[in-house]
Structure 1
Amino acid sequence: MAQEIIRTEYSEIMQKSFIDYSMSVILARAVPDVRDGLKPVQRRTLYDMYELKVDYNKPYKKSARIVGDTMGKYHPHGDSSIYEALVVMSQDFKKSLPLVDGHGNFGSIEGDGAAAMRYTEARLAKVAQEVYLGDLDKNVVDFIPNYDETEKEPEVLPVRVPNLLINGSDGIAVGMVTSIPQHNLGEVVDGVIAYMKNPDISTAEMMEIIPGPDFPTGGIVTNKDDLLEIYSTGVGKIKIRGKAEIEKIKGGKEQIVITEIPYPMIGANIGKFLNDICSLVETKKTNDIADISNQSKGEQMRIVIELRKGADAQNVLNLLYKKTRLEDTFGVNMLAVADGKPETLGIVPIIKHHVDFQYELCTRKYTHLLGKEQEKKEIQEGLIKACDVIDLIIEILRGSKDVKQAKACLVDGITAGIKFKSQKSKADAEQLHFTEKQAQAILDMRLHRLIGLEIEALRGDYAETMDKIARYTKILGSRAEMAKVIIKDLQAIRKEYARDRRTVIDNVEEAVVEEKPIEVIDVAVLIDRFAYARVVDMPTFERNKEAAEIESKKIVFCKNIDKICLFTEKGDMHAIKVLSLPFGKFRDKGQPIDTAEKGSKIDLTKENLIFADSMENIIKNKLIFGTKQAMIKLVDGSEFDVSRKTIAATKLNDKDEVICVQIINPGDTVVMQSAKDMFLRIEGDTIPEKKKTAAGVRGIKLAKGDELTNIYVLSEGETKEVKVKDKDVALNRLHIGSRDTKGVKK
């Protein structure tokens, strides 16, 4: 067999394959259809429940059974995605109109997950059964083969309300994302009716009926003026904040009670919101919050924030709006599959697609019903006619050899082989011309149908059938009549399932926080040997001075609004705001200085702290830097006046590290001591001033294998002794030598 090798560009194959994959994800997984507002996994799950007859008025069925059946027949993907879809469709805090009635633990608004599918049970919600699946048996939608072509599934469900708007949708596809907010069912139905009465309705006119989203969690939409553009283009950002009340409590104090949260906060974000409030307290953004408690019960939200006496409750509430997710943004991108392709739609086009779909459903429904009634009419006419000549029919049946012979006589008047009582009966039989269906109905008819009342009922049914045929013909023959039927149906749905609006739509001014000026005081920052830091005021320090000097590795005196600069052996400087450190009593434990400020790279478990002082003091002085390899330099302190939390304070050679950082004044002398007890005293003014990025110059000539261990800075007239091999060396009496010499042995 001849083979042909087809050569093509690899890039073309990749492009085509990726586009095919992308469209598959968009159409078959992540993006809802504009007609029924459902993703495939939701549609297949609901249809499977319909097939399993898990009706709203019947016992619940195990979720695992529903998930397994859906996966085996229609959705050949992971069971977790099917169960998640089932769970979400049952959660009234996520969906305005839950489509599944869940029994068991189906999760909570605070982010608790649902129990495993083997424990929970479910059935269709009444609205899903009646409004979403009610007409499936009337040939209103096309059925397509499932993934292995062993079953049939509906292309879309015959949903009679715009589910895309009512329940919204969210999903991420390849290069596309959909995020549609939820709306009030009653308002959306009114909007559909308004569009059917006026197809030229504008977005502004539609928004007088549907003013904006209606989230199941309530809340307040704060940018009403932006909604017109959002609903015209289908893209934008909705700002939504929680609903809070300020209550007075005993002791003259107040508390903020949050009763509704922004929709994006549901789930784990409630816990994050509480943590964010704690962070505001820990980082000293506010000192007015005394306590936080989550007193929510079930879906009844109640988060209580107790304030200190004299606190400005409104200002604290504004701070929560600014700094936490109590005010959040819902990104809108109304992307849906319309006419077989993904499209971003405004609110009026979405309703237009829905209305077109309703006309299609209605046409197919009443065409189907008309066909059924016409079949019924044919049989009823045959039975009524048969009742009029029932004696003849009985004579035919008694005289026939088999059913085939009797049926031939009823349909075509063939009397050959049939025994009649008289020639008149035979002549009358030859005049019979029933249809095939009528003849079969006559043959299947039971004798009790010959009772007078039964015959009257048959004539009554026939009259009713004729009325229905006339009505269905009228509906199918006039779009206006069909519109009346659709509107009547919508009004009935609205009456039974509509609820009051939960979300308030308004224009709200941006929250403004008035920051109270901080009282500037002198403080002492105490850093112990475990790198825990705490701040005390100066009167507290003076009362505990002796204990503070014994217990603290470093003590920095500064203002409470200043920064402290920490220099480490690795040549880094870390700037920490004093306000980030805990302020309190002398015996308070403090906090690890590594965690004091977010974004700081300090880790005193891996590097030693060499020097610490206030930035205010450092920037108006000069610093001397010294390293193990005897590199020294002076640096102007103003170079460390930076906004970054961590910078390189000096340049280090390989395997070198900083051993000294100190403030040096004019006239000071510097004494360098090596590991082999070599000492060199030099004038501080002979050390060159360098930039912080420089390595410096050599301070002393070291013998091979020797290194600097200490550098001492002596002010004029200062005396200082160090012990070397059990003898005291007076540093201030050492001869002043030249930099970069060997020094003297002690």
Structure 2
Amino acid sequence: MQDSQIIRTEYSDVMKKSYIDYAMSVIVARALPDVRDGLKPVQRRTLYDMYELGIRYDRPYRKCARIVGDTMGKYHPHGDSSIYESLVVMAQEFKKGMILVDGHGNFGSIEGDGAAAMRYTEARLAKITQDAYLADLDKDIVDFMPNFDETEKEPEVLPVRIPNLLVNGAEGIAVGMATSIPTHNLGEVIEAVKAYMKNDDISTKQLMKYIKGPDFPTGGIVVNKDELLNIYEAGSGKIKIRGKVEVEEMKGGKNRLVITEIPYTMIGAGIGKFLNDVCALVESKKTSDIVDISNQSSKEGIRIVIELKRGADVENLTNMLYKKTRLEDTFGVNMLAVANGRPETMGLKKIIEHHVDFQFELATRKYQNLLKKEQDRKEIQEGLIKACDVIDLIIEILRGSQSVKDAKACLTNGVTENIKFKSSISKKMAAMLRFTERQATAILEMRLYKLIGLELEALMKEHEETLKNIARYEDILNNYDSMAEVIMADLDKIKKEFARKRRTAVENAEEAVYEENKIEEQEVVFLMDRFGYAKTVDTNIYERNKEAADAENKHVLSCMNTGKLCIFTNTGKMHQVKVLDLPYGKFRDKGLPIDNVSNYDSTQENIVYICDAEQMRYARLLFATKQGMIKKVEGNEFQVAKRTIAATKLQPEDELISVQVVTDNQQVVLQTKEGYFLRFPAQEVSGKKKGAIGVRGIKLRKNDELEHAYLFEEGTEAKVIFGEKEVTLNRLKVAKRDGNGTKAR
């Protein structure tokens, strides 16, 4: 057994190093795309595996399960779901500027429906992927590295001819950073790349003459055109996008709004949420102009129809949709990618610069390899041409040789010792032969039909062609302009075949402004029954049904319909609810659970007090808790915008039992569960902030707790029932706060 060595080190140092290693692994090997090919490792490996399996665009589709399994087994050992998800996204036209995979079957929908299981769907490479992403892989133009178990080789980067990072964009969440790059128009990007190659001092502003802005597959309108320059220079910012709304006239003078394009950010569940948001605007009476909404979208495209009342203000309603729903949304741009092995946020010009450098690197390696092949071919051709001139001598050497080795030695070095010649002249001529190793091999393998006149002529033409190719390749490798011309010619071919019209409009639009329907302010009565169902009714309706309303409802109070109600609960929280969010109507209407319109949770909390927020502003509130703590708090402390706040601080195991409006000339009576009463003037209760615990109101005996806090005016009679006894509060002896209290007799 070997002696183990224990290395003592600071635990925090180990954690720090381990976490940094993990973070960099996620950043470089999982979440972020490479600036050169614009692909994440899982995408690169999936496309390369399809290429290796021969699933080309002109061949039959293959099951996605086969592709996923092969990719996972050979290159990407991180689970099948991540591979299949990336395969699906590369086949979805509504997510990618250019689809890289041609899918067959259910690959999901723009409305968020998921793709079918991989055992049902099929796929093959798209034509652009084969032509512009995987071409020339066999020409050794990119480096290959071992896969995870070193049984296969995989490319470090694909030889992508177009700036895929811009064309298809990218989304990814790493550790401590995220990337979000919008899609762009292929034709515009290619023109920008060509402009950079002609003048590498070109500015971002000049590049934007070619690239107008993002081009989302869902169309829509970018409305902050003037901000795009700063976004593209810095590589980060916010792009505002709107859906496209058209107005269609209907019979009877009515109109309807038809949404034909949506913001890119609305893809998936966002469409369903938009429909719900529009319904909510109608339900909350924000608008009364909408009659109906329907989603008539199909394979042909998006079509969301909103039918309007006659005489509806179309412009105001459209602006309301932009303002109150995700029909206008923000796309956060953060152009982060891996460059030279490190994550880097890059502007538009920097991305194009990296792309062009990569193209020159690819072209250099490609033409170096092609040049070497042509030079090898030239060497062989020259050997064969030379051999044809002395073919009789070569035949004599071959016939006089005992072995191939002897013949080869004679052809390459003029060694004649082991060969029989017909004459000394032939021997002298043979001694002068100096063919190269490759030429000698070609001569020995040459077939006799090559000596036919036409074949010799073809060989000469082939040689001329080879010399032309060598001259061309050398020119490309030695001249920047020649190489740039070749790269630009390739880009033009790709543009001609695959470019399409821009889908997203780019403009400067005014801020969406709409006028809300002014609600007539009126006094209403809030009613809530013991089951938590709440509603508001007109004051006249309440007066006519006052007896029944008071008997059937636990909470009854007057308030303004434009105001808010404050709900204090036993957990020390205060929830706010807008009165307008509550249903307004008939006395016998059921109402709506108060949980539905506020953060109040009836399963976890009990309501202690409900009051009108505006009326509470000028009052003071008396708080009392189960453990006997009390305090006075100014009502204006609860004038907040948040829907829920902590109304008071509670000790462990404590609960709020009472909140009441209090004045200094009132008397306070605290009653415990065991029947102890303590009376003292309200002036003795200290004023505190809402975040304070308060002061002790009564000394509690063991296992006793405060049950009620009563208030009454000095000089008035106040009676309460405790158990079966009637207790007259104003006859209790006046004591000091924090006393023991007296037991009811």
The answer to whether the Cα contact below 8 Å between 2:100 and 2:125 also exists between their aligned partners in 1 is yes
Post-superposition shift, 1:114?
Answer: 2.7
- TM score, norm. by length of structure 1: 0.84
Amino acid at match of 1:200: D
Pick closer, same or farther for the CA change 1:501–1:676 going to 2, 3 Å: closer
Assess if the C-alpha contact under 8 Å between 2:240 and 2:328 holds in 1: yes
Task: Decide whether the 8 Å contact of 1:448 with 1:454 is kept in 2.
Answer: yes
Q: Which amino acid aligns with 2:159?
A: P
* Distance across 2 between alignment mates of 1:585 and 1:219: 44
Match of 2:601 among 597, 600, 603: 603
How many angstroms does 1:577 deviate by? 2.1
What is the deviation of 1:606?
A: 4.8
CA positional deviation for 1:494: 0.9
Q: Does 1:456 align with 2:457?
A: yes
Contact 2:220/2:505, CA 8 A, preserved across alignment: yes
CA contact (8 A) 2:286 2:517 kept: no
Over 3 Å counting, the alpha-carbon distance change for 1:620 and 1:718 in structure 2 is: farther
Report which stretch shifted further, 84-93 or 127-136.
84-93
Compute the displacement of 1:528 (Å).
1.8
CA displacement at 1:140 relative to structure 2: 1.6
Secondary structure of 1:208 counterpart: coil
**What corresponds to 1:26 in structure 2?**
27
Structure 1 position 217 matched with structure 2 position 215: no
Q: CA deviation at 1:197?
A: 1.3
User: What residue number does 1:441 align with?
Assistant: 442
SS in 1 for 2:209: helix
Whether the aligned pair in 2 keeps the contact of 1:630 and 1:707 (CA below 8 Å) is yes
Any unmatched runs of 5+ in structure 1? none
Structure 1 pair 589–420 and aligned structure 2 pair: CA distance change class (3 A): farther
Distance 1:384 1:651 in 2: 101
**Segment of structure 1 superposing worse, 542-551 or 366-375:** 542-551
Structure 1 308/716 Cα, relative in aligned 2: closer, same or farther at 3 Å?
farther
CA positional deviation for 1:622: 7.6
1:244 maps to 2:245: yes
2:199 is aligned with 1:201: no
How many Å separate the matches in 1 of 2:631 and 2:177? 58
Partner SS, residue 116 of structure 2: coil
In the alignment, does 2:294 pair up with 1:293? yes
The verdict on how the C-alpha distance between 1:384 and 1:713 changes in structure 2, with shifts beyond 3 A counting, is same
Contact 1:700 1:742 (8 Å CA) reproduced: no
Amino acid of the structure 2 residue aligned with 1:438? Q
Indicate the residue corresponding to 1:267 in structure 2: 268
Where does residue 171 of structure 1 map in the other structure? Answer: 172
Q: Does 1:160 align with 2:158?
A: no
Structure 2 letter corresponding to 1:373: E
Whether 2:88 is the aligned partner of 1:87: answer yes
Q: Which residue of 2 aligns with 1:314?
A: 315
Count, aligned residues: 736
* Alignment-derived partner of residue 52 in structure 2: 51
Instruction: Provide closer, same or farther for how the CA distance between residues 570 and 130 of structure 1 changes in structure 2, counting only shifts above 3 A.
Output: closer
Give 3-state SS (helix, strand or coil) of 1:209's partner: coil
- CA shift digits 1:76-116 (9 cap, x unpaired): 43333333322222222222122222222322222333333
Cα distance in 1 for partners of 2:700, 2:75 equals 83
Report the counterpart of residue 497 of structure 2 in structure 1.
496
Q: Counterpart amino acid of 1:211?
A: K
Q: Secondary structure at the match of 1:490?
A: helix
CA spacing shift, 1:547–1:211, aligned 2, 3 Å: same
Counterpart CA distance in 2 for 1:74 and 1:675 is 72
Matches within 5 A, 1:47-446: 47-298=48-299, 300-387=301-388, 390=391, 393=394, 397=398, 400-412=401-413, 433-446=434-447
The superposition leaves residues 98-149 of structure 1 with CA deviations (integer Å, 9 ceiling, x where unpaired) of: 2222222322222333333333322222111111111112222222333333
For residue 310 of structure 1, report the CA deviation from its aligned partner: 4.1
1:481 correspondence with 2:479: no
Pick closer, same or farther for the CA change 1:362–1:606 going to 2, 3 Å. Answer: closer
- C-alpha deviation, 1:652, in angstroms: 8.3
Q: What is the distance in 2 between the residues matched to 1:326 and 1:389?
A: 83
Instruction: Report the AA paired with residue 581 of structure 1.
Output: L
In the TM superposition, residue 648 of structure 1 has moved relative to its aligned partner by: 6.8
CA distance change for structure 1 residues 626 and 45 in 2, over 3 Å: closer, same or farther? closer
The alpha carbon displacement at 1:524 in A equals 2.6
Question: After superposition, what is the alpha-carbon deviation per residue over 1:605-660, rounded to whole angstroms, capped at 9, x for unaligned?
Answer: 45554554544555667878888899999988777666555567788899887777
Deviation, structure 1 residue 495:
0.6
Distance 1:14 1:712 in 2: 60
Once the 2 structures are TM-superposed, how far is the Cα of residue 500 of structure 1 from its aligned partner? 0.9
Q: Which moved more, 1:222-231 or 1:638-647?
A: 638-647
Contact 2:662 2:711 (8 Å CA) reproduced: no
Aligned-partner Cα distance in 1 for 2:456–2:286: 88
**Contact 2:670-2:706 at 8 Å conserved across structures:** no
Aligned to 2:40: 39
Contact map agreement 1:700 1:739 (CA 8 A) in 2: no
Asked whether the 8 Å contact 1:672–1:700 carries over to 2, the reply is no
Asked whether the 8 Å contact 2:630–2:685 carries over to 1, the reply is no
Q: Once the 2 structures are TM-superposed, how far is the Cα of residue 399 of structure 1 from its aligned partner?
A: 5.3
C-alpha distance in structure 1 between counterparts of 2:569 and 2:13, whole Å: 57
1:260-296 CA-to-partner distances (Å, cap 9, x unmatched) read 2222232333333334434444544444444333322
Distance 1:20 1:563, change over 3 A: closer
> In the superposition, relative to structure 1, how do residues 111 and 390 fare at CA in structure 2: closer, same or farther (>3 Å)?
same
SS at match of 1:314: helix
* Structure 2: distance between partners of 1:699 and 1:587: 44
CA distance in 2, matches of 1:9, 1:446: 75
Q: Distance in 2 between matches of 1:165 and 1:737?
A: 82
Task: Note the C-alpha offset of 1:533.
Answer: 0.8
Q: Identify which range, 218-227 or 409-418, moves more after superposition.
A: 409-418
AA in 2 matched with 1:277: V
Distance across 1 between alignment mates of 2:389 and 2:424: 19
Matched AA of 2:523: D
2:37 is paired with a residue whose SS is coil
Instruction: Output the amino acid matched with 1:172.
Output: I
Deviations 1:375-434 (A, max 9, x none): 222333333444555566556555555444444454455566666677777676666554
Does the 8 Å CA contact 2:557/2:611 hold for their aligned counterparts?
A: yes
- Aligned pairs for 1:730-741 (under 5 A) are 738-739=733-734
The answer to whether the Cα contact below 8 Å between 1:396 and 1:418 also exists between their aligned partners in 2 is yes
- Shift of the 706–589 alpha-carbon distance from structure 1 to 2, 3 Å rule, reads closer
Structure 2 Cα separation of the partners of residues 410 and 664 of structure 1: 119
Distance, in Å, in 1 between the alignment partners of 2:135 and 2:681 is 95
CA contact (8 A) 1:619 1:637 kept: yes
Tell me the CA shift for residue 174 of structure 1. 3.4
| CA offsets 1:13-39 (integer angstroms, 9 cap, x no match) | 555554444443333333322222222
Deviation at 1:212, TM superposition (A): 1.7
8 Å CA contact retained: 1:628, 1:707: yes
- TM-score in terms of structure 2 length: 0.84
- The residue that corresponds to 2:578 in the other structure is 577
AA aligned opposite 2:248: E
With over 3 angstroms needed to count, the CA separation of the structure-2 counterparts of 1:87 and 1:701, relative to structure 1, is closer
**For the residues of structure 2 that align with 1:162 and 1:384, how far apart are their CA atoms?**
46
* Contact 1:333/1:344, CA 8 A, preserved across alignment: yes
Q: Distance in 1 between matches of 2:377 and 2:265?
A: 55
Q: Partners in 2 of 1:655 and 1:42 — Cα distance?
A: 55
Q: Do 1:73 and 1:151's aligned partners in 2 also have CA atoms closer than 8 Å?
A: yes
How far apart, CA to CA, are the structure 1 residues paired with 2:106 and 2:168? Answer: 22
Task: Return the alpha-carbon distance in structure 1 between the equivalents of residues 596 and 275 of structure 2.
Answer: 19
Q: Which amino acid aligns with 1:194?
A: A
The CA distance in 2 between the partners of 1:704 and 1:159, in whole Å, is 78
Residue type matched to 2:256 in 1? Q
Structure 1 residues 269 and 742, CA gap change in structure 2 (3 angstroms): same
Question: Mean alpha-carbon deviation: is it higher for 321-330 or for 387-396?
Answer: 387-396
Contact 1:652 1:695 in 2 (8 A): no
* Counterparts in 2 of 1:518 and 1:367: CA distance versus 1, 3 Å: same
Judging changes above 3 Å, is the alpha-carbon distance between structure 1 residues 304 and 548 closer, same or farther for their aligned structure 2 residues? Answer: farther
SS at match of 1:116: coil
In structure 1, distance between residues paired with 2:626 and 2:413: 121
Quick one: distance in 2 between partners of 1:649 and 1:173?
40
